[in-house]
Amino acid sequence: MELIIIKNNIKFIHCSDIHLGANPYGIEERFEDMGRAFMQVVACAISERVEFILIVGDFFHQKNLNAKTLEQAVNLLEPLKNAGIPVYMTEGNHDMATYTNIYSWLDFLCQKEYIYLLKPDTDDDGSPILRKRSGVNKIGGILEREDSYIVGLGYPGATAGVMINKLSAFIPDNEVKPVIIMLHTGIDKFLTEGMGGLREDELTLVIEKSDYIALGHIHTRYDNKDMKYYNPGAIENVKIESLTKNKDNRDKGFYLVNLAHDTRKVDTEFKKVDIRNSINIEVDITGLSSNVECIVSKIKAEVDKVHTNNDDIILNIKLIGTLIDGVTVLDINALKKEVKTLINVIYIEILNNLQSKNSGELALKENQTREEIDREVILKLIQNEGFEEKDAEKLINIVMHIKEQATEGTITMDMQEGMDIKGLVEKYVDNA
């Protein structure tokens, strides 16, 4: 007879949104940063001797991987495989199989036994079904361990509520093993309005029958111990833009969880990940002239106040104030080039938000149409960015065109991640 020892505590790691392969704007260092962040999860799993790791979606940034990203993933998962620590993963919106392919790179990793991929499959008419995963074909959303059940619901989108009802019907009332659920969906009250997501009351049925609801999808952390749901957020900043939006961008990491087998008490410790340093500051250049060296030395002085080592950083600067010569249009590229000679940056963004001396606000004329006002606002923004006047008309047309399509809903936007304006503009410039 096989002797099964059930430990009193189940210790595991819950992380999500690893986004391997993400390197916004083609910054090579950011690709490495994503791997470095996940390496810290791997190191913690091994040193803490956890039973398993949960990765709740978006392990990969893209459905179509390049070879380098796959190599990175395998190198990162290898030590876990060698240490005998199983990785339970469910799909996110970024790495789920496309409708035409069905088979994703996560399926590949699963077949090669780097991970256990847990996801509901579908019946003949395409509606999701939950069943116990069988060892032979590796299909199914529910995995039975000796000490617990692990359920992977993937990225159910609008059908999340239905999935949860199905799951609660599936779990017997008298289930003795702890039930841990992975779900790549946000709770609606933590989302911007109109983004969808799951309502707390939709979780009620399954809360009674489960012990830990591991969430993913939303890149900032939130949790509710009473309702048993936990969302660790991404382990690195996935987009450069998210750095400027989040004041607490240093607060990236994952949960180290202890679940008591007898009392079902859950203890979580949020483990911070050491991520790429980024500096987001406003620099008031009031009283200076428009001379590039003057402005850059002011920027350098301000950055030195908050950045005290030589690490390569991501730098976001917003220039505010009024110059003595009244200039509002600056050569942003010249500024960036000069800043790079003084500060080690892997990426720099400079936003010109200068005010002209006579307030510079738009004087709205009477009887202006909405479109005329839009065009004037865009022109002003373009001038502030230092574009050549001769390109202005073309740029305005592109922006108006994108706006029109966005209003019509022709452009689909991933509101979770924000809209990739640069990508859209590039697309339209190419087509123009």
Per CB under 5 A, residues contacting Mn ion are 17, 58
When the beta carbons of 53 and 343 are compared against Mn ion, the nearer one is 53
Please answer whether residues 288 and 294 qualify as being in contact, where contact means their C-beta atoms are separated by less than 8 angstroms: yes
Rounded to whole angstroms, how far apart are CA atoms 309 and 274? 15
**Single-letter code of the amino acid located at 410:** T
Instruction: In angstroms, give the least distance from the CB of 110 to Mn ion.
Output: 20
Amino acid (one-letter) located at 41: V
User: Would you say 76 or 96 has its CB closer to Mn ion?
Assistant: 96
Given CA atoms 417, 418, 422, 427 in this order, what sign does their dihedral have? positive
Least distance CB 297 / Mn ion (angstroms): 39
Please report how close the Cβ of residue 305 comes to Mn ion at its closest, in angstroms.
33
The answer to whether the CB of 107 falls within 8 A of the CB of 70 is: no
Q: Which is nearer to Mn ion, 38 or 170 (CB)?
A: 38
How far is 161 from 266, CA to CA, in rounded Å?
Answer: 24
User: Which residue is listed with tokens 């939709």?
Assistant: 202
The H-or-E segment that residue 222 falls in is strand 222-224
Residues written for the chain: 432
Residue nearest to Mn ion (CB): 58
Closest CB to Mn ion among 235 and 402?
235
Min separation Cβ 16 and Mn ion, Å: 7
Residue closest to 256 by CA, chosen among 89, 19, 48 = 48
Minimum separation from the CB atom of position 192 to Mn ion (A): 15
User: How open is the CA angle 233-235-237, to the nearest 5 degrees?
Assistant: 90
Task: Output the smallest distance, CB 61 to Mn ion, in A.
Answer: 8
Report the alpha-carbon distance of residue 25 to residue 5 in Å, rounded: 50
Judged by beta carbon, residue 149 or residue 230, the one nearer Mn ion is: 230
Choose between 17 and 349: whose C-beta lies nearer to Mn ion.
Answer: 17
